[in-house]
């Protein structure tokens, strides 16, 4: 089906595309609330997903949960990290896990701290596809790791982690490793150009440029570009898509197209940072600037919406998306590129 240009949000009663039904990863969870999923392929036909779960976001009992999929079946999730402090100080919440596969190792980045303004970066690793994990380590001072979305391996072999900070206004930056995660450096904050942005995701263009698409507080998505493998970035610019102050994710497909998963809704003028997190849409672009809506994943209003998607393309070419479903469950959807 040929995608149609995005002009207005779909009707809130419009049903999702019949081509995908999806499945819940964490049925019968031992906690009431979950959020911020991430997904990775560890071997052909084997997926791993992670998210944070607990009483509710910011509560100290919130931990990082991981589930493995084998032969198309999601196995029960286990808690692999939490905010228990070794020095005996009060337990803290965990946040925003990010899975990343490189050199036959599955990396799990996450954060610990009272809030996004005061958290710090952590990492743990698995060498057996998510069955067992190393002792968590704190990242170097000033390095947060990928803040929501997956790192990418660049053509020179370096790793690029999209990151951001919130203590002094929302600012995007990038963290690089040229030694497979042993050490990290970070860029200067991207010039905001009147936009407050966080949580970038990285796209790769055929001409060698990188593009990062970002969440903002300004009612729209924004992007920034790099011509030097992520060492420096252009000032942020508005994209034509709305953003209700909600996380997004994007991936460059093997055929060169770019896929973006996002909430196609704009916040009301009187509350510019309080938009609703539905519908949840998938859009496609060939240039990163002009985006066309391909399908809608969720439209029915609910208390907490459908948000914080993660998207990857697996070795068989299929597109896998996970996202928060009403803060109660994590949903997994599989798409065929030809459907977009």
Beta strands in 140-209 (DSSP E): 152-153, 159-165, 171-177, 185-186, 197-204
Cβ atoms 325, 33 nearer than 8 A: no
Asked if residue 1 belongs to a domain, the reply is: no
Question: Model pTM?
Answer: 0.94
Asked if residue 132 belongs to a domain, the reply is: yes
Give the domain range for residue 86.
11-334
Residues 6+ apart with CB under 8 A from 305: 246, 263, 276, 277, 278, 280, 324, 326
pLDDT tens series, the chain, 340 aa: 333 333 334 433 344 454 566 999 999 999 999 999 999 999 998 999 999 999 999 999 999 999 999 989 999 999 999 999 999 999 999 999 999 999 999 999 999 999 999 999 999 999 999 999 999 999 999 999 999 999 999 999 999 999 999 999 999 999 999 999 999 999 999 999 999 999 999 999 999 999 999 999 999 999 999 999 999 999 999 999 999 999 999 999 999 999 999 999 988 877 877 789 999 999 999 999 999 999 999 998 888 999 999 999 999 999 999 999 999 999 999 999 998 9
DSSP string, 201-216: EEEE-TTS-EEEEEEE
Selection from 127, 129, 185 nearest residue 159 by Cα: 185
What pLDDT was estimated at residue 1? 37
What pLDDT was estimated at residue 75? 96
Asked if residue 286 belongs to a domain, the reply is: yes
Query: Taking the chain, what is the end-to-end CA distance rounded to the nearest angstrom?
Result: 7
What pLDDT was estimated at residue 316? 97
Q: Can you read off the two tokens belonging to residue 62?
A: 């919130």
φ, ψ of residue 337 to 5 degrees: the values are -55, -30
- The residue behind tokens 């698409």 is 213
Considering all CA atoms of the chain, what is the largest pairwise distance in Å, rounded to the nearest integer? 58
- The residue behind tokens 């809030």 is 115
Cβ atoms 224, 235 nearer than 8 A: yes
What pLDDT was estimated at residue 128? 98
Asked if residue 3 belongs to a domain, the reply is: no
Asked if residue 73 belongs to a domain, the reply is: yes
Selection from 3, 219, 201, 18 nearest residue 98 by Cα: 201
What pLDDT was estimated at residue 20? 60
Asked if residue 5 belongs to a domain, the reply is: no
Cβ atoms 36, 52 nearer than 8 A: yes
Asked if residue 244 belongs to a domain, the reply is: yes
CATH code of residue 145: 2.120.10.10
Asked if residue 164 belongs to a domain, the reply is: yes
- Per-residue b/e over 114-147, b at no fewer than 16 CB within 10 Å? eebeebebbbbbbeebbeebeebeebeeebbbbb
Calculate the CA dihedral of residues 41, 102, 202, 179 and round it to 10 degrees.
Answer: 170
What pLDDT was estimated at residue 18? 45
Burial class (CB in 10 A: 0-12, 13-18, 19+), 44: exposed
Domain count, the chain: 1
Q: Can you read off the two tokens belonging to residue 209?
A: 């440029």
Cβ atoms 54, 36 nearer than 8 A: no
């Amino acid at each position: 089906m040929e995608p149609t240009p995005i002009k207005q949000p779909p009707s809130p009663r419009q049903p999702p595309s019949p081509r995908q039904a999806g499945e819940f990863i964490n049925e019968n969870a031992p906690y009431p609330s979950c959020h911020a999923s991430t997904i990775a392929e560890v071997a052909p036909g084997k997926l791993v997903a992670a998210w944070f779960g607990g009483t509710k976001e910011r509560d100290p009992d919130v931990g990082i949960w991981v589930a493995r999929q084998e032969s198309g079946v999601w196995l029960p999730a286990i808690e692999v990290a939490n905010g228990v402090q070794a020095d005996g100080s009060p337990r803290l919440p965990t946040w925003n896990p990010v899975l990343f596969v490189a050199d036959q190792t599955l990396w799990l980045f996450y954060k610990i701290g009272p809030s996004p303004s005061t958290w710090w970066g952590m990492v743990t690793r698995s060498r057996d596809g998510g069955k067992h994990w190393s002792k968590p380590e704190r990242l170097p001072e000033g390095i947060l790791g990928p803040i929501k979305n997956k790192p990418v391996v660049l053509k020179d072999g370096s790793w690029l982690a999209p990151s951001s900070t919130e203590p002094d206004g929302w600012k995007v930056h990038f963290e690089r490793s040229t030694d497979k995660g042993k050490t990290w450096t970070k860029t200067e904050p991207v010039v905001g150009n009147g936009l407050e942005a966080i949580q970038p995701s990285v796209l790769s263009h055929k001409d060698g440029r990188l593009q990062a698409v970002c969440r903002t507080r300004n009612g729209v998505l924004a992007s920034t570009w790099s011509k030097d493998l992520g060492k420096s970035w252009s000032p942020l610019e508005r994209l034509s898509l709305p953003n209700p102050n909600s996380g997004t994710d994007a991936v460059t497909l093997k055929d060169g197209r770019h896929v973006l998963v996002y909430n196609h809704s704009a916040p009301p003028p009187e509350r510019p940072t309080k938009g609703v997190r539905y519908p949840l849409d998938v859009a496609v672009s060939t240039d990163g600037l002009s985006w066309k809506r391909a399908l809608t994943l969720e439209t029915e209003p609910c208390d907490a919406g459908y948000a914080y998607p993660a998207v990857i393309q697996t070795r068989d070419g299929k597109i896998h998306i996970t996202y928060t479903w009403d803060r109660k469950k994590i949903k997994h959807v599989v798409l065929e590129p030809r459907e977009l």
